[in-house]
């Protein structure tokens, strides 16, 4: 988005730029995007608000005052951001690494998977996935907020939520019965070792041949005493620890058939059912990721003794995590290419990656398995120039290229 704003300025555009979507915010728009384009940058919370915004901008009488108010508000947001950043300084990368998550690797339980390399599951019966659906995000997608199933009896949104849930279950039953969507998965395990903030992945437990290297980022925000600056690399045994550790990976999809099914509804002008079909495709994909993670824990041994209720599984009360490239703990989407190559994901599942590393079909999920008993999700947060330069060197990238992929996380303005 910053790049688009710069290009619009370079090309001499004067029309206002509207910013919106799930990954945007008023603060990010004010701090990162607005300074790059002087003809007006407006954050729009959701599509339902865009009509009023566009009307204000199209009206020559209201446009100057509207944009002036936006500029004033964004200046305050930049000042607030600068003040917060001054209160929360970043540590030098060397110091952040010194404050890494402490692990006694000599005493750490390291489960060995019962197989190494990738294993394909295709197709996965849809009826096996349905119990693993987390319905909470489904309602959020329809702007019905609250914890499921409590929101079904909420005085304000309960009736509409219940109707939506009933419609979704009816369509889901049809999808399963008619096998409208095809579910495919590949998971794998490999010997691995941490080398600083990198994770080397090996062909076998002798660790003589490196298959690939995943590059991790580390939190740099200064924290109170007793808190640590996490990196995913902290949850894999260092090469010099004398322990052989393992890392897992997965790619799953329930997207084959989703677009065709939605198109059938749209051809009959039934947009409601088309959107519903796509939303259910996404829920099934996340459910398949949860199902395969359960199987992965069982393949590693410790999952066989879980004895968790489905609600506890949905709430991730189990050991281990499955962070995904592009998300807070590993925000660089380009690591997805290495993961897909390691898994043979395209041939196994039919998922392809776009030039920006988005997955197609859209109802797809991929990521890593970390089995360490203390592994947890976290956000890397803001990154200093020293870490970006170090990261670019480790990945053999130009610094500008690393800055492009990690732009939302930079604690500085690149040249």
Work out whether strand 41-43 and strand 117-121 pair parallel, antiparallel, or are unpaired.
Answer: unpaired
- CA angle, 141 as apex, 138 and 144 as ends, to 5°? 85
With a cut of 70, say whether residue 22 has pLDDT above it. Answer: no
Q: Note the pLDDT tens digit of each residue in 239-254.
A: 999 999 999 999 999 9
Is domain 2-87 in CATH 3.40.50.280, yes or no? yes
pTM: 0.87
pLDDT digits (tens, 9 = 90+) for 178-202: 999 999 999 999 999 999 999 999 9
b/e map 385-396, b = 16+ CB within 10 Å: eebbebbbebbe
- Residue 380: other Cβ atoms inside 10 A: 24
Q: How many CB atoms lie within 10 A of CB 382?
A: 17
Cα–Cα distance between 195 and 200 in angstroms, integer?
A: 7
Beta strand pairing status for 198-202 and 245-256? unpaired
Does the pLDDT value for residue 140 go beyond 80?
A: yes
Burial (Cβ within 10 Å: 0-12, 13-18, ≥19) of residue 330:
buried
For residue 414, the model assigns a pLDDT of 87
Is residue 42 pLDDT above 90, yes or no?
yes
Name the band, by pLDDT with cuts 50, 70 and 90, for residue 413: confident
CA distance 159 to 290: 29
Q: Which of 232, 290, 281 is nearest to 257 (CA)?
A: 281
Phi, psi angle pair for 114, to nearest 5° = -80, -5
227 close to 164: Cβ distance less than 8 angstroms: no
Per-residue pLDDT band for 395 (boundaries 50, 70, 90) equals: very high
The 3-state DSSP class for residue 370 equals strand
Higher pLDDT, 411 or 86: 411
* Short-list 52, 104, 129, CA closest to 285: 129
- Tokens at residue 302, please? 């410790």
What confidence score (pLDDT) does residue 323 get?
97
Answer whether 56's CB lies under 8 Å from 70's CB.
Answer: no
Query: Residue 23, SS3?
Result: coil
> What gap in Å lies between CA 268 and CA 248, rounded to an integer?
44
pLDDT, tens digit, 9 for 90 and up, residues 327-340: 999 999 999 999 99
Mean of all residue pLDDT scores within the chain: 94
Report the relative pairing of strands 17-19 and 41-43 from DSSP bridges: parallel
Q: Per CATH, which fold does 91-124+182-381 belong to?
A: 3.10.196
Q: Reduced to 3 states, what is the DSSP secondary structure of residue 146?
A: coil
Q: Domain boundaries in the chain?
A: 2-87, 91-124+182-381
Report how far Cα 392 is from the mean position of its chain's Cα atoms: 21
């Amino acid at each position: 988005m910053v790049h688009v704003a710069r290009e619009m300025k370079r090309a001499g555009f004067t029309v206002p730029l509207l910013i919106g979507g799930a990954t945007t915010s008023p603060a990010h728009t004010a701090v990162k995007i607005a300074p790059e384009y002087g003809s007006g940058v407006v954050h729009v919370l959701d599509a339902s608000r865009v009509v009023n915004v566009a009307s204000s901008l199209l009206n020559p009488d209201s446009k100057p005052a509207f944009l002036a108010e936006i500029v004033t508000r964004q200046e305050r947001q930049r000042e607030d951001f600068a003040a917060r950043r001054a209160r929360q300084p970043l540590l030098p990368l060397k110091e952040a690494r010194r404050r890494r998550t402490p692990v006694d690797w000599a005493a750490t339980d390291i489960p060995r998977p019962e197989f190494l390399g990738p294993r394909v599951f295709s197709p996965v019966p849809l009826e096996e996935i349905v119990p693993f659906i987390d319905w909470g995000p489904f309602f959020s997608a329809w702007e019905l907020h609250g914890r499921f199933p409590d929101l079904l009896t909420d005085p304000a949104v309960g009736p509409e939520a219940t109707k939506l849930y009933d419609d979704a279950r009816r369509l889901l039953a049809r999808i399963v019965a008619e096998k409208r969507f095809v579910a495919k998965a590949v998971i794998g395990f490999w010997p691995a070792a941490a080398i600083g903030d990198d994770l080397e992945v090996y062909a076998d437990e002798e660790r003589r041949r490196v298959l690939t290297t995943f590059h991790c980022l580390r939190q740099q925000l200064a924290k109170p005493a007793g808190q640590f600056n996490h990196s995913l690399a902290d949850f894999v045994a260092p090469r010099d620890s004398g322990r052989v550790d393992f890392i897992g990976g997965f790619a799953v999809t329930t997207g084959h058939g989703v677009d065709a099914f939605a198109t059938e509804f749209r051809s009959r002008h039934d947009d409601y059912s088309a959107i519903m079909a796509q939303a259910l495709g996404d829920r099934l994909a996340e459910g398949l990721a949860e199902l395969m993670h359960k199987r992965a824990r069982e393949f590693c041994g410790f999952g066989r003794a879980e004895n968790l209720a489905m609600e506890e599984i949905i709430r991730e009360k189990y050991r281990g995590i499955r962070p995904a490239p592009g998300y807070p703990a590993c925000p660089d989407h380009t690591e997805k290419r290495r993961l897909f190559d390691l898994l043979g994901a395209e041939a196994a599942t039919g998922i392809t990656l776009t030039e920006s590393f988005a997955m197609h079909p859209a109802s797809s999920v991929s990521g890593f398995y970390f089995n360490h008993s203390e592994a947890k999700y976290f956000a890397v947060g803001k990154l200093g120039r020293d870490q970006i330069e170090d990261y670019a060197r480790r990945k053999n990238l130009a610094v500008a290229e690393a800055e492009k992929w990690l732009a939302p996380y930079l604690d500085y303005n690149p040249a």
